[in-house]
Structure 1
């Protein structure tokens, strides 16, 4: 098409984004490239020239760039950066455009020189406070920062105006703060962290300095609108406003905007001569004027419009601006540029002018439909599906459609695009459709009417609305659901966020087995400051059970180790070593601020709510739920667990951050496999257990210690859960490393010569206690019990057998030993001075033996007697006789079951007759 060339950034298979970054890590940001390279793609719009004048010498007001996303705020900010940082290149650029546009005023705009320029995209949150950025990057900043911090008790919350003036007098500065409102709105404002108030006060200081000392400070900020708190403080000093929606006549603004679009898209648009363009447009323009009955007095202006808009028709540009830019997700100029670039790539070589008819709805290779869908609302997508089904219907219903409807695809595409207009603008007159398909050859009027009638007769969604034709869907459940999902006023109670969190939990713990072993908690969007408010009470840490907790973060933390360390200190009072943090992929925004995810969650809610009304809604519920879950399954690719703990300085905490290959409900098991196989060090665990054995510590105490990070910078031992940890203790017991005292009822240890696996199988079922019962189970060195192994029914200090006696299977009940409370070592009293001869223990005096006996009493009293006689765990006793006066067969059987292994017994009884 007359040699017209797209800029290189649009020639790839996948279009690069047109968003402007002031700086980035790859040093390709707008302020990091040479001024000549950046200004080459920049057109001097009215707004841009106004901004350059506002930062020039002799100006004394801050500059505020106002506009919603995608309008070009960042591009304008970058241009102002180069205007002050490299005035020579900017002057040359203005001079060239002055000649090109035949406007001497452009070349005569004065530029400021010799001023340091600091620019920052604040939405990246590289700095907590504005003064941090200034102190770090200003040549005199380190000195002023030290002076401020060295003020001791006189130090203010924010740097004073005198300090900032001293800094600026050293080196005058131009300060560009892009996305200031986005950054400001994200700040917290509480008694502990009054950061928004500090920012509010500091921007006031900067604004007043910029007004009173313009030779020292030029302040430029960008905001989305003029009603925010971020803007109001600057508004007090009467700033220069660069508003993309105001200023100039509508016609001049439109011409200015279209020239900017074409210059941004094409590298040689200005080199194509007007006569050459007029020649290729001749047929299309003449037919447009005829079909639309353009008055003679308007025809010259229309021809100029076509000339200014080429290679696109002006009515196409107007249509896209009216439709695409009102879509919920569109980003104004940015998305319009991407759509036009795609359209030119797919159809630019095939036609002299691009119109609505060049959108081929059934040609997926062009990517046009997919791109429009990405920025359109649900009605756009739904109508496109309807249009495609209508197109298929015509093809199937008309065997010779190629001759009867040669422009079928073009007409359906143009009508679809025009049917997505808002209000009464939807649809198109037949005349404009005929103009859309007219390129180098005229289309016969009668032939077009026949073709159009054929299409209408065989379609089921084209309606007549007065003289206009329009695609409609009267009752489309999908459109209704999505319209409600996009209505923020219907979800002010936060139910959509709760639904999204619910789906996150389901995706990670969807199976019954996972839910039985793991507690998955989706932290809210304010997870860093207020993680528990809004969650169910059962999800608060003080209500956790023995399931392994997996905390799903909605976003990737910056300074991950520091953030997680401080979070654990501030929001976890116990069991700090048990949590696993599931992390989203790098670059993902906070899930609860992700518009696409929220819309899908809302759509799922509404479809389920209306499912009883119509089966279509039930299908939609399944569809949206499936789409949302598919996205969430792929969202997480890493987890973090505690590695080293530092309570006094959480910023020095360290975490293991491990990659995950599994998705969805396979993630919890993948985390445990990684912890068990890669991060758990058996030697460290063995050392800890041996220390506990040497200290005669209980299993309960050991497990509690394992649930907390190890102190003094020691490597943390990953918590694998109570069952896994108890099994590892039993395994050490089976290896002969330790012995275990089971609440005085039984000693566990490996038998002499016993194989480890055999010992493991024998001992594993023994440690079935849990909870507080484990506080009565002690770990001992193997030498603390007989080396022959086995079990012995004795009472270890400081605990006693179960209530009801050794043979009664009652519930355990600790009894304070003589001489102190539970936990104190027993003190053996003097023997009973008058023990009766014989008795339940039998025996008598002699052979160094001291006989003891007791009258019939309860098992608990007998235990007390044994302790009062000074009989401890290692005290040998002989001729032990226990007499039971009366019992039933069931009681006898239960008593025999309770007898310890490794001993032999005799039994005699009198059976009573019936």
Structure 2
């Protein structure tokens, strides 16, 4: 393994500055150093090679280096100085790098060996005029200064073109002017001393000589901006621009940094580096979802940037330092050196997590020294306090949040980015703390949640976490949501559970297309005792219309759910019991209203919406959306997965009701349609429905009665026909008509039935949608095809509803119509004959002869189904003897009367009395 060694100037406790001074009083300036020593720390970047080529023999254009502070302009100019001042050393340096980089073209670069090199950094303000730099440093400078001075100020304030040309003829010169723009912009113009104008004229003279006579003058200047006035005169002669922005700039800067920092980085073998960073790299690929085709290139990037992660260098170079006033490469070297000196030796790679917030020696200090932004420094203090709070708040913090400082440090650094990239996604933080060993995903998720939940300055924006100055409204919201007392008393009492019920309904009810077809009724905490007490009156069963299919959501899965649902139907629903579809939660989830996570989330959404009404700028609306969309809805969507539909009804013993169950694979607003599909395709048996409709046809019953009966469970334990909704069932009736099974008498005006030889599709197209709606369904009867009842004749009834006619011999006329029970006496009094059973069985009783005690029961006029339920309430079961049974019918058709008599049980005698309308 490679043991990286810092260069000597970086090994001390106090990092020496990396600013490049051409000269200084201590004689350690870049131009004062030994040429070989200076070139030893110089990397042949693309910009440097371009500079060498532009100033070489045979070139005819001035050179302009354009870039902001700290990009390396001064180092590059100092290197050019040494290369041309000491061409032998320069040639050796080029040959060495040509061999190292396997690039023979480097050895072919030409160096100017015939020039006297003058280099000056103008920002030191040692010279008032640029020509003084030349006169003082050129071998013939003093001679030509005297010539110019003898000419007198009145003749010329600026050395002339001819004068400078003659001097350079005496000794060809390379003039390197660093910080030219800084010096130029510091000049003033007065009427007596227009120094800036003079400088403008003089640089134009030098530029033209360098362009026309490159053999005499090589001119190289550095400026910060290409649009500055200082650059304009140089630009007129079409200089060679080096702007540090070419396609090789980023790669070169990275290599330059590593070469500048380490003595032996070039000796690190690629295979050794790959082995060291293997775990970090594999996790970077996995967590970052890096495509297979890009992994080879990314691996090369990691090897190239080691020991620093490329995502760290990119973060610092392209994001953090851009967002500050740092001097780019110069400050970056200081930061990276401090990172390396203070990182743990066993760490495989250095990431953003190595910016320790607690260590005084960490690179954070170097970074903040480079940042002229008080906000960023204040944010560090808040991050430190957040770390303290987390470590104090989380039990057993050492084990529960072992990477707390690294995670918070990484997040803090990434929160200094430019706005669009500020903060970090959780996966990126996990990558940052992954070094030699991988981090378990679940453990990291729990640790990060602990950190975020206990930090007041960490904000979540979309999928990103961000450190900010302001307190986290999310943390405040959660603290209130966790306060049980707040939701037991005062204005918010009960609102958490109420809102949770609303959210469940919204998730399952979905968009308008779902809610238009399905009614989602979410029962609340008192679902099993007094469910409708928790609803407004206009929300209870009495307000339900017939247009939608009703799904009742049960908040918990009872241990014996079929028994519980049967009792619930009997006790809390008086009619339309067969129309209900029950949706139950997953097994093992418990009561939804006792799930603390769900309750807190619901409270948070509720509070956020309420607080937003009073403070629209605090971000509560966005928090409400985030909690709801990202946390609450996903939990609700997967909560309910069990469908129960009544199969066999038992009013007397509802615990014995039988329900058909089915697992639901869909989630959220897809559940209602999936329920509808399951009921329609898996539970509904078309043959049973056809048989049931055919029975109605035999008795010429109305479609209205058919639909009404189907809304209720079938009595006597008969299998219930699942309710598909009025529209669907009407369509199925029409299809049976089109198939020739039945005929439909539409309101006594026309008979709709399949024609002889007509195929189903043709008939169906003709009949589809012909059934009426509402109360008109009661006037539309179901008949057998070609039935004589199709004539549309009306049943004849008296005005009072009593039947007309004379009783047949042997019958007992009893007021009101049909009656049964007992054998009438010869006098027609209706009293039982001696020796008969008063129960009406028709057989003589056997016993002691003592009277059997009886109780009387009566019920008002109601439907047959409700009457059956009333009988069950009286405790009458199949073995219970009853006597003196009277069933009164006010009005009915002949068909109904025939059906009633046919269904009467054998072994009992009956009498009949009715009134019939007279024939015309």
TM-score, structure 1 normalization: 0.51
State how many pairs are aligned: 472
Alpha-carbon distance between aligned partners in 1 of 2:249 and 2:186, rounded to the nearest angstrom = 34
Q: Does 1:236 align with 2:232?
A: no
What does 1:481-630 align with in structure 2 at a 5 Å threshold? none
Change (3 A) 1:322 1:78: same
What does 1:389-428 align with in structure 2 at a 5 Å threshold? 389-428=385-424
Alpha-carbon distance between aligned partners in 2 of 1:419 and 1:154, rounded to the nearest angstrom = 62
Q: Residue in 2 aligned with 1:329?
A: 325
1:135-187 alpha-carbon deviations (Å, 9 max, x no partner) = 11111111111111112476411111111112111111110111011111111
Q: 1:376: how far off? A: 5.3
Q: 1:111: how far off? A: 1.2
Structure 1 SS opposite 2:68 = coil
Q: 1:346: how far off? A: 0.6
Alpha-carbon distance between aligned partners in 2 of 1:371 and 1:427, rounded to the nearest angstrom = 17
Q: Residue in 1 aligned with 2:455?
A: 459
Alpha-carbon distance between aligned partners in 2 of 1:48 and 1:324, rounded to the nearest angstrom = 26
Q: 1:274: how far off? A: 1.0
Q: Residue in 2 aligned with 1:624?
A: none
Q: Residue in 2 aligned with 1:603?
A: none
Q: Residue in 2 aligned with 1:111?
A: 111
Change (3 A) 1:146 1:70: same
Alpha-carbon distance between aligned partners in 1 of 2:258 and 2:363, rounded to the nearest angstrom = 21
Structure number, greater radius of gyration:
2
Alpha-carbon distance between aligned partners in 2 of 1:376 and 1:436, rounded to the nearest angstrom = 26
Structure 2 SS opposite 1:365 = coil
Alpha-carbon distance between aligned partners in 2 of 1:125 and 1:52, rounded to the nearest angstrom = 27
Structure 2 SS opposite 1:42 = coil
Structure 2 SS opposite 1:326 = coil
Q: Residue in 2 aligned with 1:11?
A: 11
Structure 1 SS opposite 2:300 = helix
Q: Residue in 2 aligned with 1:290?
A: 286
Q: 1:27: how far off? A: 2.0
Q: Does 1:191 align with 2:187?
A: no
Q: Contact 1:339 / 1:372 at 8 angstroms: preserved in 2? A: no
Structure 2 SS opposite 1:32 = coil
Alpha-carbon distance between aligned partners in 1 of 2:348 and 2:104, rounded to the nearest angstrom = 34
Deviates more, 1:390-399 or 1:374-383: 374-383
Q: 1:470: how far off? A: 1.5
Q: 1:350: how far off? A: 4.0
Q: Residue in 1 aligned with 2:313?
A: 317
1:875-899 alpha-carbon deviations (Å, 9 max, x no partner) = xxxxxxxxxxxxxxxxxxxxxxxxx
Q: 1:416: how far off? A: 0.9
Alpha-carbon distance between aligned partners in 1 of 2:285 and 2:43, rounded to the nearest angstrom = 31
Q: Contact 2:54 / 2:240 at 8 angstroms: preserved in 1? A: yes
Q: Residue in 2 aligned with 1:216?
A: 216
Q: Contact 1:120 / 1:177 at 8 angstroms: preserved in 2? A: yes
Q: Does 1:268 align with 2:264?
A: yes
Which of residues 348, 355, 358 is equivalent to 2:354? Answer: 358
Structure 2 SS opposite 1:364 = coil
Change (3 A) 1:348 1:253: farther
Alpha-carbon distance between aligned partners in 2 of 1:80 and 1:330, rounded to the nearest angstrom = 25
Q: Residue in 2 aligned with 1:201?
A: 201
Deviates more, 1:405-414 or 1:458-467: 458-467
Structure 2 SS opposite 1:459 = coil
Q: 1:392: how far off? A: 0.7
Q: Contact 1:335 / 1:375 at 8 angstroms: preserved in 2? A: no
Q: 1:475: how far off? A: 7.6
Q: Does 1:368 align with 2:364?
A: yes
Alpha-carbon distance between aligned partners in 1 of 2:346 and 2:469, rounded to the nearest angstrom = 33
1:282-315 alpha-carbon deviations (Å, 9 max, x no partner) = 1111111111111110111111111001000011
Q: Residue in 2 aligned with 1:171?
A: 171
Q: Contact 2:131 / 2:159 at 8 angstroms: preserved in 1? A: yes
Q: Contact 2:323 / 2:416 at 8 angstroms: preserved in 1? A: no
Alpha-carbon distance between aligned partners in 2 of 1:112 and 1:418, rounded to the nearest angstrom = 47
Structure 2 SS opposite 1:174 = strand
Q: Contact 1:361 / 1:369 at 8 angstroms: preserved in 2? A: no
Q: Contact 1:319 / 1:418 at 8 angstroms: preserved in 2? A: yes
Change (3 A) 1:37 1:13: same
Q: Contact 1:148 / 1:155 at 8 angstroms: preserved in 2? A: no
Q: 1:224: how far off? A: 0.6
Structure 1 SS opposite 2:188 = coil
Structure 2 SS opposite 1:329 = coil
Alpha-carbon distance between aligned partners in 1 of 2:463 and 2:431, rounded to the nearest angstrom = 16
Q: 1:22: how far off? A: 1.4
Q: Residue in 2 aligned with 1:55?
A: 55
Structure 2 SS opposite 1:75 = helix
1:437-470 alpha-carbon deviations (Å, 9 max, x no partner) = 1111111111111111111121111122112111
Unaligned runs of 5+ in 2: 473-920
Moved runs in structure 1, 4+ residues, more than 6 A?
none
Q: 1:197: how far off? A: 0.9
Q: 1:23: how far off? A: 1.6
Q: Contact 1:357 / 1:411 at 8 angstroms: preserved in 2? A: yes
Alpha-carbon distance between aligned partners in 2 of 1:348 and 1:97, rounded to the nearest angstrom = 33
Q: Contact 1:390 / 1:461 at 8 angstroms: preserved in 2? A: yes
Q: Residue in 2 aligned with 1:710?
A: none
Q: Contact 1:287 / 1:438 at 8 angstroms: preserved in 2? A: yes
Change (3 A) 1:229 1:374: closer
Q: Contact 1:347 / 1:354 at 8 angstroms: preserved in 2? A: yes
Q: Residue in 2 aligned with 1:895?
A: none
Change (3 A) 1:323 1:115: same
Q: Contact 1:373 / 1:380 at 8 angstroms: preserved in 2? A: no
Structure 1 SS opposite 2:277 = helix
Q: Contact 2:327 / 2:370 at 8 angstroms: preserved in 1? A: no
Structure 2 SS opposite 1:434 = helix
Q: Does 1:306 align with 2:276?
A: no
Q: 1:368: how far off? A: 2.6
Alpha-carbon distance between aligned partners in 2 of 1:435 and 1:400, rounded to the nearest angstrom = 24
1:498-548 alpha-carbon deviations (Å, 9 max, x no partner) = xxxxxxxxxxxxxxxxxxxxxxxxxxxxxxxxxxxxxxxxxxxxxxxxxxx
Q: 1:219: how far off? A: 0.6
Structure 2 SS opposite 1:414 = helix
RMSD across aligned positions (CA) = 1.6
Q: Residue in 1 aligned with 2:128?
A: 128
1:254-300 alpha-carbon deviations (Å, 9 max, x no partner) = 22221111111111100111111111111111111111111110111
1:551-571 alpha-carbon deviations (Å, 9 max, x no partner) = xxxxxxxxxxxxxxxxxxxxx
Change (3 A) 1:421 1:327: closer
Alpha-carbon distance between aligned partners in 2 of 1:140 and 1:348, rounded to the nearest angstrom = 58
